[in-house]
Amino acid sequence: MNLSLSFTNPILNRHVYSAAFSPPPPPTPPLSLPIPPPRFLFLSPRTPTTSRFYILYRVPQRATALSATATTASIFRDIAASAAVFAGAYALVFTFDILTQKEIIQQSLSRKLVHISSGILFAISWPIFSNSVEARFFASLVPLVNCIRLVIHGLSLADDESLIKSVTREGNPKELLRGPLYYVVMLMLCAVLFWRESPVGVISLGMMCGGDGVADIMGRKFGSSKIPYNQMKSWVGSISMFVSGFLISIG
């Protein structure tokens, strides 16, 4: 069979030839839709607080109940921890007062031992508080109450001979407004500003409590060699401050 086509018109001849012998057009690729990413990439442990559709968004009741229960448990835990720290602080002071009254230790040594141990025990008590944001404020209640107490007795608004004897050097109530007041204010600031999130607070408390306390004890006992530019301080006391403060801070 002869399939050749012949036309006298050259234009028709060209178009017919192209239609008969040109290759077919390439097939059209199928329409590809974008594959959505895995859903777990968008899952977040936090519940969204805002939504464009306020009517459609509802917080699950079970999640709300669990959150309220966790918050209540944290508050009760912080209250119990604050009460325990209060009890421990008063027990510490009471113990050293008894030792002083029975003349087992001297008054100056008792005051410095309270100075050393109270701040260290306060920092050690931080882990018993919860992980909530309000935990640091519950912990700072202990030095805050002592701060108010020192101000009241330092201004002679009330009289407490046992407090004055255990804290001051010369028995003057106005001494409560200097070193002891600065001490409890630093405890409160370290708890509120640094807490367990930064080592700055623990290092500061270690240097203030351990370093300064040990320096006074060692300086009074072995501080015969004074520093040339400050005759009130000794080499033994100054070195003891840095060494003991460093060891307590890293411990």
Pairing of strands 230-234, 226-227: antiparallel
Q: Does a structural domain hold residue 33?
A: no
Residue with tokens 């027990």: 91
Tell me: the pLDDT tens digits for 170-218? 778 888 888 889 999 999 999 999 998 888 888 888 888 888 888 888 8
**187, 216, 241 — which closes off a domain?**
187
Is the same domain home to 176 and 72? yes
Cβ partners under 8 Å of residue 142, min gap 6: 82, 85, 86, 89, 122, 187
Give the domain extent around 182.
66-187
Which tens digits make up the pLDDT trace of 94-107? Answer: 888 888 888 888 88
Give the C-alpha separation, 74 to 70, whole Å: 6
Q: Is residue 12 part of a domain?
A: no
Which pTM was predicted? 0.66
Query: What pLDDT, on the 0 to 100 scale, is given for residue 85?
Result: 93
